[in-house]
Every structure is written in structure tokens, then in C-alpha cells.
Chains A and B, each alone.
Chain A
Amino acid sequence: MALLEIRNITRRFAGFEAVKDVTLSIAAGEFFTLLGPSGCGKTTILRMIAGFDAPDEGDILLDGQSLAGVPPEKRPLHTVFQSYALFPHMTVAGNVAFPLEMANRSRDEIRRRVAETLALVHLTDKAAQFPHELSGGQKQRVALARGLVNKPRLLLLDEPLGALDAKLRVEMQVELIALQREVGITFVFVTHSQQEALALSHRIGVMREGRIEQCDEPDKLYTLPANRFVADFVGRINLMDVEVAASSKVLLKLKAAGLGEIAATDLRPIAVGERGAFALRPELIRVFGHRESADLKNRFEGRVKELLYLGDVTLYKVELQNGFIVEALMPNAASGRAKFHEVGDPVAVCWRQDAGVYLRN
């Protein structure tokens, strides 16, 4: 049975629906992420799980029990806030001890558990310090320790890494994964960073305008996006308007205006004449000199319009004959050569038949 079940919840604020008929099921031990642009309703869902807000319709169940009408303090789950929300008048140890005190644990147990949890987040030596004496990353770890110390059934994390600088973010991501594995507590994480979501999660729910657009494992989400929004929001992608020219069992022929036919694969039965989009990741495209031949099903000629040398890879923007600009990412692996093509070079972009995905409108 799922640990947390969200059934058809809807939340309306003055005149608009922040969350529209969302259904989710999160298993025990899972690291689940709600991903979406700001204002998509992900934080509203988190607040409803925590009990700071209530759905207008639908129900939220924890261990099969409805949480409707249960105040935040009675829910066996804790939240890590974006602003950390540490109590400024308490020491680090005092902050971490707070949930245990509220749960009326014995003094010995509190002392032991606070020490254990501070050790877990490498803050043992900061126990007697006050929040204003700590760095951003340290505050973050205190907030995590405080959320974990009373072993909640569920830990909610609202953009907890948002306030950290890039390098620290990556460090904390690694720590967060290790921590979640170590304590075995279910995490529900909210972020607008697709990179963070992909790196951390077991499963991701991508949200837009109050709805879940797709809920899948990171690799599935990346390779098989359900629609244009997901394809575009998660990672870099080329999206081309196409019409289905032919469809057999596995093989799909797509027609792009002024370009010719694109060969793709799809297991779904798709009607000829249907309109949709062809989505292709830049790193799955090879860029060749226009005279070089490639043993790849799809080959289109164009001209390098721009390039971005990034050290390990180069991002080529290639203008095709129909004016469409394809982004291709090529590793700079050849010895003695920094890049393969220059701006203005006539080139051919090629990809395997199974590289791209056809998205229905």
C-alpha cells in the first residue's frame, strides 16, 4: 500500500485553481519530486500535505488514514522550509531538540537523538551555536536535522537548496541522496530545477498550471516525455512540428514542412495525417561535414549558424534548409582538434531512427 495517497485534490484561490484534480501515490522509502515552474501549484500541494492549507475537493491519505481536519502538529510528517525557518532564539541543539520536546520524549532520549542526528549531518561541533552564526549550508543541515530527528513518516522539502550557491547545491544534493538512503524516510521534494529533480529523485511529477503533466522515473521522463511541455521543461530539446506520413507497427514516417521525411519509431497505433511534434535531444544528434557519409537513418543538410564551445562539448546551432534551427551537442573528444566545424560550414545533421520521440498534440 502506498504511504501517501493524494486523491483528486483541487484547491482554488480567489478566482483561479492553483491545483486541479491531482492524484498521486507515493510509496514508503521513495524520494519523490514535484517539479515545475514557479506558480504551478507544487508548493500548494506540499502545504496541503503538511496541513497549512486544505484542499477544496479530494482527499489526502497517510497510511490509509485521511488527513482531513488533522492540524499540522498532529501529522506524523515534518517540513524543511525554503527559508530554513530556524528558531533564532534557540541554539542548533535547541532547534533540533524542539520536535522531540513537543513529542514529550525523555531528557535522555532527547540528548541522545540530538547528538545522533547532529552527527548525521556533520554538525556536532556547532551544537551550541545560534542560527545567525552559521553559513547557509550549515543552516540547511540544521533544518534537515530538525526535520529528521523525530523520525517522521514523511519529510517534505520545499526548495531546500534554492538559497545556496551553485557549488554548495551540488554538494548538498549528494548529501541529501546519501541521507535519504541512510535514514530510509520518504522524501517529498519540491523544486523548479530540472537538474536537481533528475539527480535526486526516484520518481518525478512534472507540474504545469495546477496539473500533473507526467509522473515517471527520471530516465523515462527524459527519454520519453509525454508532451511538449515536459519535453521542453526537462532538459534541452529540439521540437519540430510534423505530420504523420506513414505508420506501420513500429516504424513511423514524419513529414516536416520543407524538409522531407523523418524516420522514427513508435509502438502506439498512430493515424496517418495526425499532427504533432518531433522531439529530439541535442546529444543524440551527430554533426558531420556535408561530404562525409553517415550510416544513420536520418540525414539533413544545413549550415552552422552559431556554436558555443563549452570545453568538453560544443553546442552547434545548425540551420536546416527549411529554416529550422537544430541544436546538437557534440563531445570534443578527438585529439589535436578543438572543434570539428566552424560557423558558416555546410554540415549534415544525422540521428538514429530510435533517437527522437513523436509527441501527439
Chain B
Amino acid sequence: MNRPGFWLWAASLAVYAFLYVPLAVVVLFSFNDSVLNAQWVGFTTHWYAKLLHDEEMLRAAANSVLIALLSSVISTILGAMAGLAMHRYRFRWLPLLVLTPVAMPEILLGVSLLLFFRQVLDLTLGFMSILVAHITFSIGFVAVIVRARLAGMDESIFEAARDLGATPWATFHRITLPLILPALVAGFLMSFTLSIDDFVITFFVAGVGVTTLPLQIYSMIKVAVTPEVNAVSTLLMALTLTLIFLASRFAPDVLKAKA
């Protein structure tokens, strides 16, 4: 029997504390009945109520959710196609093309997208540019998840379907689609999370008219970290955690795929 010793436990505990205590502090102070994040005064849900009446905040939240929904639907479809293609055709450069945006530093992606939208397309920055940018960085994640799912499957079942009388389309919707469905759900949730959280790339391509939740939070903390910021951060955190949890339920390999 090899049990982890005391120091191993202590070290792990320290690491997890380092990761999660700051988050816990944010959550805690979002319920603090004081405008200052200095000391605990008393419990209140006042900041959450205030959020509901902050029109700017609500507009930013609505933008975020809409962009997240649209971008994750579109990138799930495109990413699934990319994943299927990577699995079926063994072109060596295909995975590289699809996965590069995943590995690219966000700031680089942000700058290049900005240049592309402004200089090449001459697009007015706003809703569309954010949407396209989010789709760009989400496709790779979905593709990886779908490919991981396909890699674990017996190839001959797709041939068997054709052999038993299914057209390529029938094979797709009766066999392939049901089998990759968990990966699609996981990919969708993953894209949604990435989109709703994204700050760096959105910051570059948002322009002046449209704001998302992370941008809104950023503009608020330029003044001060108010309890209201804590409240909205807590909500965002809760949403993200829920989605990640759901995604990992649908495809256990999803958390590994992100690395």
C-alpha cells in the first residue's frame, strides 16, 4: 500500500488554496453589505438586485449570451465538420490548420483579426466582428473533441452501414451523428464557455458600439472593484462552472482535450 504522505497532502492543499481562494473571496464579497472590499460587514443580496437594474450591464449580458449562443452553434457545426474531415482524410497539414488558432496566443489572434476586419474586409467593428472572432477560436476545440470521439470507434461500423443499404446521408444521420452527439454537446458547451468568458480577443474586435460582459466588467474596475463587479463575476463563474461540469459529463475526454 502506498498512501500519499502528510507533505503531499499539505502541498496539494496549498496549490488548490492558491487556485480557489481568490475566487472564493470574490464570491464572498459579492454578498458583503459594504461598498468597500475591505472587511466583512454583513450578508446582503443588494448587489445582485442592483445588477438587475443596471441597464448597461444587462445590455452587455444580453450581447454576451447572444454571441455565445450563435458562435457556439456555428462553431459546433463547423468544428464537427473539421473533426470528421481530420478523422477521415489523413492530410498531414489539416489538423495543423484547424488547431493553430487554439494554440495561438490570444493577443496575436486579437490583433490579426482586428487587422483583417479593418484592413482587408473594411468591416465596421461590432456584433458581427465579435461573433466571427469567437467562431474562429472555438472551431478548433470542437474539432478536437469530435476527433477524439471518432478515434475510439471501430471504422468498420460506417462501412457496415453502407453495406447494409444506408446511403452516405443515412449513414451520417443514423450512425455517425448519434455516435458523435455527446462530443457535439460537449463541444457546444465548451464553445459557449469560451465565448462568454473571452476578454482579450473581444477587446480588440469589439469596436465602440457593442460591449460584452467581460468588457463591461473591465471598464467598471478601471474605477474601482465594486461589490457589483463581484456579483456579476460570481454569476459568470457559476455559469462557467455549470457548463464545464455539463461538458465533462457528456464527454469525459473533454477536459483532457482542452490541454
Contact = CB atoms under 8 A, between A and B. Distances in A.
A71 B159 CA distance: 11
Interface stretch (A86-94, A118-126, A228-236, A243-251): A86-94
Contacts of A73: 162-167, 170
Contacts of B178: 89
A72 B159 contact: yes
A85 B165 contact: no
Given A87-B175, A88-B179, A102-B170, A50 B163 contact: yes
Interface string A96-110: 001100110000000
Nearest to A81: B156
Most buried by B among A73, A99, A150: A73
Given A83-B156, A85-B156, A102-B170, A78 B164 contact: yes
B17 interface: no
A194 interface: no
Interface residues of B, number: 17
A281 B179 CA distance: 53
A72 B163 contact: yes
B41 interface: no
A52 B179 contact: no
Contacts of A88: 157, 179
B94 interface: no
B111 interface: no
A146 interface: yes
A85 B166 contact: no
Contacts of A52: 159, 162-163
A72 B162 CA distance: 6
Contacts of A50: 163
Interface string B152-175: 001011011111111100100011
B182 to A, nearest CB: 10
A86 B157 CA distance: 6
Given A83-B154, A85-B154, A88-B179, A146 B164 contact: yes
Given A73-B167, A102-B164, A150-B165, A81 B179 contact: no
Contacts of A86: 157
A150 B163 CA distance: 12
B202 to A, nearest CB: 38
A79 interface: yes
- Interface of chain A, main secondary structure: loop
Contact of A85 (B159, B167, B170, B174): B159
Given A73-B167, A102-B165, A85 B160 contact: yes
Contacts of A81: 156, 159-160
Given A87-B175, A88-B179, A89-B179, A79 B163 contact: yes
A349 B160 CA distance: 53
Contact of B161 (A83, A87, A103): A87
A39 to B, nearest CB: 19
Contacts of B170: 73, 102
A79 B160 contact: yes
Contacts of A150: 164-165
B156 A103 contact: no
Interface string B122-144: 00000000000000000000000
Most buried by B among A85, A86, A88, A99: A85
Interface in B158-209: 159-167, 170, 174-175, 178-179
Contacts of B154: 83, 85
A82 B160 CA distance: 11
Nearest to B158: A85
15 contacts: A51-B162, A52-B159, A52-B162, A71-B162, A73-B170, A79-B159, A81-B160, A85-B156, A85-B160, A87-B157, A88-B157, A98-B174, A99-B164, A99-B165, A150-B164
Q: Which 5 A-B residue pairings sit nearest by Cβ, starting from the closest?
A: A102-B165, A85-B160, A85-B156, A99-B164, A72-B162
Given A79-B160, A102-B170, 15 more contacts: A50-B163, A71-B162, A72-B162, A72-B163, A73-B166, A78-B163, A83-B154, A85-B156, A87-B157, A87-B175, A88-B157, A88-B179, A89-B178, A102-B164, A103-B165
Interface of B: 154, 156-157, 159-167, 170, 174-175, 178-179
